[in-house]
């Protein structure tokens, strides 16, 4: 039932004041439920309170002492939301029963998902207007509850558009029943005994206005009027905090990720607690674990357009269900593929068994197939232990495309461009993510222990890799966007060597370079306030640093480091928010001819080729300047130029050209005088990232992604080549062009909104000078080409990283 109030809701600050006045141990905050309450006066509840069964005394208290704290959290299924329907009684019953089934099976199974809608629509209840706990459990005991996929939740009841007839035709196969249930009694030790003996309980409680603002801690009522009764799942206790641990049905945005703790004796929560036990079933519950592609084309395990493949669908029979025998199935799809062999078979499966196919399917993908996920259905049949027939439809997807085997890896958002380097003959992918983890993956996408390293705060910029201390092993340097920012140096085997704290947060990445000519590399970083930091390989600040930017302005981008005036001494080059480009010598002085002033913020990172510096500006221009501060060219666009420009020899004249992207949706290629090359600019859509180059066939090619994640592979003449434009994941980073698997053709690897993506370009090629973000693993944004004589870059390996 949805309780509608006529009174105005108590404001949040009044509830917080009441918490403080009472000395309560919980936190109040705005939640999705408090917003609903403030906007509509409604709260999703639904329990009709009832008295304990007449004459019942509850269960005996355990004769042996119970733990001071205990819970069944590992066996719980995910938190759900009852929505705008008074169906808490169904969510409490199903939530407790799912966990009890898992406990009875002896194995956590968060994928077990039974249907609350089955109860809301089919029980002789008031549906969204509420019901009793004991009646809900009696329905599951008599009729059972089916799987969620058989009757998905829609937050309606039979009278409002979700009749019981909407259940699927195979309901009986996924239905589970309660064997026995009962009232625990209202003593704390009785309830603990029931939880410990049977598993989570469905319990009732009273809800007051302040409860909708609960965001953590041990709840007790401090303020507000009574709203009504509510059913939840009680899964444990903690005597140290004198509280019960409960699961709600208000989504993960409320409380402690959807859970809450409540003080013993509060809100009558001990008055209506019910235990249950599961009845056995003879039917199995099969699920698709994986669908392995054994491609009959190039053999890389990825289903490309134009390839045939064997498909091995791996099935698992959930623990706690029945056995299945003589398992076979037929494969169908609505996708534009042929299925030459649509019949498959599996081994017999007892509960908990997993089986590969004993007879796999064969599919044929036309060469005209568009990249994407293809849906398939297995109509599967089998026999139960008693000889009854059983059948089901199991769905799975296969991706058709040009991904590298093992990729994409879907984890956390990645904003810093990944880096592929070689160590002892093996290649690894190094990157940080937005949850603060530093990763080291093998070429198949598997994490290399002891990575990932948790560095606590957002890693938004690329990691840099080199043999910093000349010990013949690689180190990883990375900036963490905390407040203030931090710089870490880790060895290649997962040990943190040092960490230094900056004066403010940092939005640009680090660079590694030998500033003093002694061979070992320094770690260079510039924080958001414009403070320039240089650390030696031990993490000590190098004199005269740190130094403030000469114009006292902020710095958003990464520094470039290179010998821009050919005096044998590298300079630190960076732009500021006041529109000045500086070149700073290792002694802290400004190189003659600098700064170069634009008058508008320089948000991107400058790039250096020999004595030429290219950088973008928020005035919509790209600037090309000499190592003496002379402006050689200005290239106008119709959008911000925030990228890190790349250099590539597109016209094969032996001299590099500048390639850059603009927020006007175009990628530009210009010579060092600022003249557009024939065929350029190339439109790629919204907000393209910084471009990189690869040498394919006989010329440099450009690779770039737009903000939506579409990959473009562009020839020197500005022609987009197949298989691009190629859709991938949104919010991509600058890519790297690298032959990850040593098969002679390059892969394009980049971060995106959910992890790391890698695309296999099936054309013979190799990296060039500017094949990754900031040109090299040290992320210096600098290449030396013998004063314009272009040559193909070597493969990136430990030897090339050590030698610099």
| Rounded CA separation 784/566 (Å) | 10
Q: Which residue has the tokens 């045939």?
A: 308
Q: Are 227 and 214 in contact (CB under 8 A)?
A: no
CA gap 271, 440 in Å, rounded = 53
Annotated active-site residue in 221, 230, 439, 769? 230
Cis amide prior to 748 (ω within 30 degrees): no
The CA dihedral of 580, 581, 583, 589, to the nearest 10 degrees, is 0
DSSP 8-class letter at 117: H
257: left (phi over 0), alpha (psi -120 to 50) or beta: left
Neighbouring residues of 623: CB distance < 8 A, sequence distance ≥ 6: 581, 596, 598, 614, 615, 616, 617, 631, 633, 634, 635
Which residue's entry shows tokens 């593929």? 337
Distances (CA, A) of 641 to 338, 419, 603, 612, 689: 47, 24, 8, 18, 10
Distances (CA, A) of 794 to 320, 462, 766, 768: 57, 21, 8, 7
Cβ-contact 651, 680 below 8 angstroms? no
Residue 71 among the catalytic residues? no
Helices 88-105 and 133-142: angle between axes, nearest 10 degrees? 50
Question: How would you class 26 by CB atoms within 10 Å of its CB: exposed for 0-12, middle for 13-18, buried for 19 or more?
Answer: buried
Instruction: Name the phi and psi angles at 289, rounded to 5.
Output: -85, -45
Q: In this structure, are residues 738 and 749 in contact, taking their beta carbons and an 8 Å threshold?
A: yes
The answer, yes or no, to whether the previous bond of 544 is cis (omega within 30 of 0) is: yes
Q: Which residues contact 396 (CB under 8 A, 6 or more apart)?
A: 288, 291, 313, 375, 376, 378
Output the furthest CA–CA distance in the chain (Å, rounded).
97
Residue 229 and residue 65 in contact, taking contact as beta carbons nearer than 8 Å:
no
Backbone phi, psi, residue 238, to 5°: -150, 105
46: tokens are 């639904």
- The Cα–Cα gap between 342 and 334 comes to 13
Q: Which of 671, 647, 631 is nearest to 785 (CA)?
A: 647
How much of the chain is helix, strand and coil, in % rounded to 5?
A: 10, 35, 50
Q: Burial level of 430, CB count in 10 A (0-12/13-18/19+)?
A: buried
- C-alpha 445/C-alpha 431 separation (Å) is 12
Distance CA 696, CA 549 (A): 41
Q: What are phi and psi of 368, to 5 degrees?
A: -90, 0
Alpha helices in 88-221 (DSSP H): 88-105, 116-122, 133-142, 171-174, 188-198
248 an active-site residue?
A: yes
Catalytic residue, candidates 118, 248, 621, 666: 248
Residues 498, 489: contact at Cβ < 8 Å? yes
Structure tokens at 599: 């008058």
Q: Tell me, yes or no, if 230 is annotated catalytic.
A: yes
Q: Which residues of 66-84 are buried (b: 16+ CB within 10 A; e: fewer)?
A: beeebbbeebbbebbbbee
Read off φ and ψ for residue 116, nearest 5 degrees: -65, -30
Measuring CA to CA, which residue among 135, 114, 134 is closest to residue 125?
135
User: Which residues, at least 6 apart from 596, have a Cβ–Cβ distance to it below 8 Å?
Assistant: 580, 581, 623, 625, 629, 631
Residues marked as catalytic: 88, 230, 248
């Amino acid at each position: 039932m949805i309780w509608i109030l006529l009174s105005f809701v108590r404001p949040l600050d009044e509830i917080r004041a009441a918490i403080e006045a009472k000395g309560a141990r919980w936190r109040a905050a705005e939640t999705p439920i408090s917003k609903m309450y403030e906007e509509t006066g409604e709260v999703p509840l639904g329990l009709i309170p009832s008295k304990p069964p007449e004459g019942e005394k509850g269960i005996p208290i355990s004769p042996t002492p119970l733990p001071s704290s205990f819970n069944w959290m590992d066996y719980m299924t995910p938190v759900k939301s009852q929505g705008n329907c008074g169906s808490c009684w169904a969510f409490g019953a199903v939530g407790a029963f799912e966990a009890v089934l898992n406990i009875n099976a002896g194995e956590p199974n968060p994928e077990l998902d039974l249907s609350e809608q089955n109860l809301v629509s089919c029980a002789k209840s008031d549906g969204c207007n509420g019901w009793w706990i004991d009646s809900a459990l009696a329905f599951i005991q008599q009729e059972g509850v089916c799987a969620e996929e058989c009757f998905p939740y829609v937050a309606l009841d039979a009278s409002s558009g979700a009749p019981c007839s909407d259940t699927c035709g195979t309901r009986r196969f996924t239905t589970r029943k309660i064997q026995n249930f009962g009232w625990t009694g209202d003593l704390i030790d009785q309830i603990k005994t029931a939880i410990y003996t049977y598993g989570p309980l469905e319990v009732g409680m009273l809800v007051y206005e302040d409860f909708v603002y609960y965001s953590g801690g041990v709840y007790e009522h401090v303020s507000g009027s009574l709203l009504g009764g509510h059913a939840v799942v009680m899964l444990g206790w903690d005597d140290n905090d004198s509280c019960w641990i409960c699961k709600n049905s208000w989504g993960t945005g409320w409380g402690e990720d959807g859970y809450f703790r409540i003080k013993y004796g509060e809100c009558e929560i001990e008055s209506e607690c019910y235990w249950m036990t599961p009845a056995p079933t003879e039917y199995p519950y099969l699920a698709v674990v994986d669908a392995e592609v054994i491609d009959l084309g190039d053999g890389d395990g990825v289903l490309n357009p134009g390839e045939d493949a064997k498909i091995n669908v791996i099935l698992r029979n959930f623990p706690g269900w029945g056995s299945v025998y003589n398992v076979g199935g037929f494969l169908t799809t609505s996708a534009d593929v042929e299925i030459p062999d649509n019949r498959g078979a599996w081994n017999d499966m007892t509960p908990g068994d997993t089986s590969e196919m004993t007879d796999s399917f064969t599919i044929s993908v036309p060469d005209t197939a568009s990249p994407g996920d293809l849906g398939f259905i297995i109509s599967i049949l089998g026999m139960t232990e008693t000889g009854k027939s059983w059948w089901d439809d199991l769905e799975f997807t296969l991706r058709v495309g040009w991904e590298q085997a093992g990729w994409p890896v879907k984890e956390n958002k990645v904003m810093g461009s990944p880096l592929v380097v070689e160590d002892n003959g093996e290649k690894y992918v190094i990157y940080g993510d937005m949850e603060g983890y530093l990763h080291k993956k093998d070429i198949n996408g598997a994490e290399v222990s002891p990575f990932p390293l948790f560095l606590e705060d957002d890693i938004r910029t690329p990691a840099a890799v080199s043999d910093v201390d000349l010990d013949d092993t690689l180190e990883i340097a990375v900036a963490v966007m905390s407040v203030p920012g931090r710089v870490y140096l880790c060895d290649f085997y997962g040990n943190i060597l040092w960490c230094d704290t900056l004066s403010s947060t940092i939005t640009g990445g680090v660079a590694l370079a030998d500033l003093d000519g002694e061979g070992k590399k320094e770690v260079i970083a510039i924080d958001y306030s414009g403070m320039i930091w240089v650390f030696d390989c031990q993490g000590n600040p190098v004199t005269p640093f740190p130094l403030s930017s000469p114009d006292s302005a902020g710095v958003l981008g990464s520094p470039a480091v290179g010998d821009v005036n050919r005096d044998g001494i590298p300079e630190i080059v960076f732009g500021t928010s006041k529109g000045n480009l500086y070149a700073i010598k290792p002694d802290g002085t400004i190189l003659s001819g600098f700064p170069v002033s634009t008058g508008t913020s320089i948000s991107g990172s400058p790039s250096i080729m020999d004595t030429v510096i290219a950088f973008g500006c928020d005035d919509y221009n790209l600037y090309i300047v000499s190592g003496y501060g002379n402006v050689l060219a200005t290239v106008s666009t119709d959008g911000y130029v925030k990228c890190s420009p790349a250099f590539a020899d597109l016209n094969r004249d032996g001299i590099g050209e500048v390639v850059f992207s603009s927020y006007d949706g175009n990628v530009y290629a210009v010579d060092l005088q600022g003249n557009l090359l024939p065929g350029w600019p190339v439109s790629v859509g919204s907000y393209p990232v910084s471009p990189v180059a690869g040498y394919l066939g006989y010329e440099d090619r450009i690779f770039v992604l737009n903000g939506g994640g579409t990959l473009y592979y562009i020839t020197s003449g500005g022609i987009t080549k197949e298989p691009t434009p190629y859709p991938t994941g949104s919010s991509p980073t600058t890519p790297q062009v690298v032959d990850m698997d040593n098969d002679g053709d390059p892969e394009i690897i980049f971060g995106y909104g959910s992890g790391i993506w890698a695309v296999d370009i099936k054309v013979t090629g190799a990296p060039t000078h500017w094949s990754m973000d900031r040109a090299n693993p040290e992320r210096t944004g600098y290449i030396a080409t013998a004063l314009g004589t272009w040559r193909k870059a070597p493969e990136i390996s430990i030897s090339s990283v050590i030698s610099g």
